[in-house]
Amino acid sequence: MKDNIVILGIESSCDDTSAAVIRDGILLSQVTAGQDVHRKYGGVVPELASRAHQANIIPVVDTALKEAGITSEEVSAVAFTRGPGLLGSLLVGTFFAKGFALANNIPLIDVNHLRGHIAALFLQEKGQKRDMPNYPFLCLLVSGGHTQIILVRNLFDTKIIGETIDDAAGEAFDKCSKVLGLGYPGGPLIDKYAKKGNPKAFKFTRPAIPEFNFSFSGLKTAFMYFIRDEIKKDKDFIANNLHDICASLQFTIVDILINKFFAAAKSENIFELAVAGGVSANSELREKLVERGKEQGFRVHIPPFKYTTDNAAMIAQVGYHKYLCGEFAAQNITAEARLKRKL
Ligand code: KG4
Ligand code: ZN
């Protein structure tokens, strides 16, 4: 295998501007700038996200290169998230990557963001020995924009077994968090408050969706009406029951995800399982996947916490594999907000 291959990865699909450097498949650095500007709006404002990416991209890349001890001239190729995501945000990363490739006369590599989340399962830091999934495995990909069960035969040969027919699991966390007045992103906040709550305190309706598909929009609406009705009876209902509300909501979402995922695994006869995407940072989901896996004889792989939400390391990781196969993009490539969801 060729060595001294240095990939600079760029991720800017939503509200995190991230750059990472990988050499010969080993992660040397990763720098991510979040965007606090969205907090007061309770969700990502696309125009503000795009402007913040523009302000962040150069310092983020500079710092990632410095931390890796790599100069621009030593970079073999630049990999960037082409989509799916917010167009204005994707464009910033795409144009930066094109400019960087042109200026340094190196190849450009386009990466599907969702494939990046799966690749996060294979990220390797120096001197670190990690447990990684063996192919084929079934991956529960849960993020703010997607909820899918994917059969992964290898990083570039994947098949969707089931997916949400409406909202993603992360969206359910975020929208319910907004109803509670907790802020954005909601997942980590609900996770935090749920720790001290009773998961059986309140019961929420579960969707009856066939096969291995999901639906979270009904749960979100039911949750909204539930809170509205309880506030009519007790104006301090949220403050008085915050931990129990969060624990019950999280219990419901996690249970829906896990039940479908294990049912799909049994149906596909696959005993190697993994989870990826922002919602895989959820402590209850991580614990229950491992617990249920042990009980039922599945090997479950969970990515390190820091590579669950959007990051450039996962983009560089896909870039490294595409580099080895010589799969490069042309300079006239564009960002694709709706890049085929089918990987
Ligand atoms: O993968 P990601 O960073 O961005 C997308 O590609 O969408 O995922 C972001 C999503 C948000 O909806 C956020 O609320 C959710 O991941 N999330 C969590 C947790 N941490 C992040 N959801 C539940 N529990 C968490 N601890
Ligand atoms: Zn993502």
- Using DSSP, state whether 47 is helix, strand or coil: helix
Instruction: Tell me which residue of 61, 75, 148 sits closest to 112, measured CA to CA.
Output: 148
Mean pLDDT score, 253-274: 98
What is the per-residue pLDDT across 67-122, written as a single tens digit (0 to 9) for each?
A: 999 999 999 999 999 999 999 999 999 999 999 999 999 999 999 999 999 999 99
**Span from the CA of 198 to the centroid of ligand 2 (angstroms):** 30
**Span from the CA of 166 to the centroid of ligand 2 (angstroms):** 17
Testing ligand 1's pocket by substitution, the residue of 15, 117, 139, 143 carrying the most ligand atoms inside 8 A of its CB is: 143
Testing ligand 1's pocket by substitution, the residue of 86, 173, 176, 310 carrying the most ligand atoms inside 8 A of its CB is: 173
- Residues 125, 293: Cα–Cα separation, whole Å: 26
**Span from the CA of 303 to the centroid of ligand 1 (angstroms):** 14
Would you state the pLDDT for residue 44? 87
Contact residues of ligand 1, CB 6 A cut-off: 14, 143-145, 170, 173-174, 185-188, 191, 277-279, 281-282, 309-310
| Closest protein CA for atom 23 of ligand 1 | 187
Would you state the pLDDT for residue 38? 84
Would you state the pLDDT for residue 130? 85
How distant, in Å, are the alpha carbons of 16, 29, 66, 84, 142 from that of 35? 7, 20, 22, 19, 21
- Residues 150, 118: Cα–Cα separation, whole Å: 10
Q: Is the pLDDT score of 342 beyond 60?
A: no
Q: Which uninterrupted H or E stretch holds 178?
A: helix 169-179
Helices (H), 85-162: 87-104, 113-119
pTM (2 d.p.): 0.95
What is the per-residue pLDDT across 186-215, written as a single tens digit (0 to 9) for each?
A: 999 999 999 999 999 999 988 899 999 999
Q: How many CB atoms lie within 10 A of CB 195?
A: 12
- Residues 100, 109: Cα–Cα separation, whole Å: 12
Q: How many CB atoms lie within 10 A of CB 301?
A: 21
